[in-house]
Amino acid sequence: MNTPLTPLCAVLAALLLSACQTAPVKTAAPSISPEEVGEFRQGSGYLNGYLDRKELPDSLALVPPPPAPGSARQAADLQLHQQTRALRNTPRWDYAFKDVNLKFPEAAGVFSCALDVPISQEATPHLNMLLRRSLVDAGFATYKAKDHYNRKRPFAELGETTCSPKEEAHLSKDGAYPSGHAALGWAWGLILAGVAPDKANAVLQRGHAFGDSRMVCGVHWQSDLEAGRVVGAAAVARLQANPVFQAQAQLAKAEIAAARAKGLKSDRTDCAAEAAALKR
């Protein structure tokens, strides 16, 4: 399902694309070793981000409160949710399920079709690490607002099932607003647009669709996604001042150029199917 970019997101995207990875950064080569970077929680599989927790954007200050019950915005959320129920058991539903998984190496392939290069620890280790570490920065930036508002998710409020039943017990206790997946998808899209500007449209569209997958899945409202993208853009803006992120981004950009020079393409076999499904 394609939904239009909100004006604020569009402005933030334009500003970030003009700023991303433009100035050379002098620092020691950042690590590509998961063991050296370390996990933010032992055994979680998620690596430490580039930012200290106190450096994360203040999502509670950045986004307004979620739509009030009975408001026009809440009615619009419900209408869009009901429209996406028609996507159940379609190819778009299947890709919404695939977008649930944030664990690497599987998550590395999300943008491989849009970028048209392989993304992996083996083929493009700095690019892979850029995505893997920024996951925590963008995702955790949503939690100040998420925990404060503790908004109920669509499936929990309406007594429905989702594209990912195994998530439901956890998500029913986790606030919906803002969406962490939408923040992450938009952040990844902006970061990749910075290191591969010729693919900016494709990667930003995929990042937007990554957030939309959560509405298709039934675990977020549209306004959750819009707020998540604002937080994701703010996290990327904050990353521009981080020298390790900047150095890794420059190395990722070089890896993309090298992969293209070798004639390497995405290693996924479903790129045409993904493109068709995400148009729905």
Band (pLDDT 50/70/90 cuts) for residue 27 is low
139-155 CB burial, b ≥16 within 10 A, e <16? bbbbbbbbeebebebbb
Locate tokens 């998500």: which residue? 171
- pTM here is 0.89
Residue 174 appears among annotated catalytic residues: no
Residue 23 pLDDT grade (very low, low, confident, very high; cuts 50, 70, 90): very low
Question: What pLDDT band is residue 11 in, cutting at 50, 70 and 90?
Answer: very low
Q: At what angle do helices 222-239 and 125-140 cross, to 10 degrees?
A: 120
Catalytic choice (81, 92, 126, 220): 220
Q: How confident is the model at residue 1 (pLDDT cuts 50, 70, 90)?
A: low
Residue 17: predicted pLDDT: 44
Tokens of 53: 């927790």
Is residue 20 pLDDT above 60, yes or no? no
Structural domains present in the chain: 91-280 (1.20.144.10)
Contact 238, 59 (CB under 8 A): no
Tell me the pLDDT band of 215, cut-offs 50, 70 and 90: very high
Q: What is the pLDDT of residues 83-102, one digit of tens each?
A: 999 999 999 999 999 999 99
Mean pLDDT of the chain: 91
From 151, 153, 214, 229, the catalytic residue: 214
**Model confidence at 112, in pLDDT bands (50, 70, 90)?**
very high
Q: Residue 210 has what pLDDT?
A: 98
Q: How far is CA 6 from the centre of its chain?
A: 16
Percent with pLDDT over 70 in the chain: 90
Catalytic-labelled residue, pool 116, 224, 229, 238: 224
Q: Is the pLDDT of residue 10 over 90?
A: no
Of 76, 8, 1, the closest CA to residue 227 belongs to 8
Residue 64: pLDDT band by 50, 70, 90 thresholds?
Answer: very high
Q: Which residues contact 167 (CB under 8 A, 6 or more apart)?
A: 100, 219
pLDDT > 50? residue 44: yes
CA distances from 194 to 3, 28, 123 (A): 22, 21, 19
254: tokens are 């070089």
| Per-residue burial over 67-77, b = 16 or more CB atoms within 10 Å of its CB, e = otherwise | beeeeeeeeeb
Q: pLDDT grade, residue 15 (50/70/90)? A: very low
Give mean pLDDT, residues 129-137.
98
Split at pLDDT 50, 70, 90, the class of 33 is: very high
Question: Which is more confidently placed, 161 or 14?
Answer: 161
β-sheet bridge partners, residue 47:
39
245 vs 41, residue with greater confidence? 245
Question: How many CB atoms are closer than 10 A to CB 185?
Answer: 29
220 as an active site residue: the answer is yes
Catalytic (active site) residue 214: yes
Active site residue 206: no
Q: How confident is the model at residue 278 (pLDDT cuts 50, 70, 90)?
A: very high
Helices (H) and strands (E) in the chain — how many of each?
Answer: 15, 0
pLDDT at 18: 41
**Annotated active-site residue in 151, 181, 206, 229:** 181
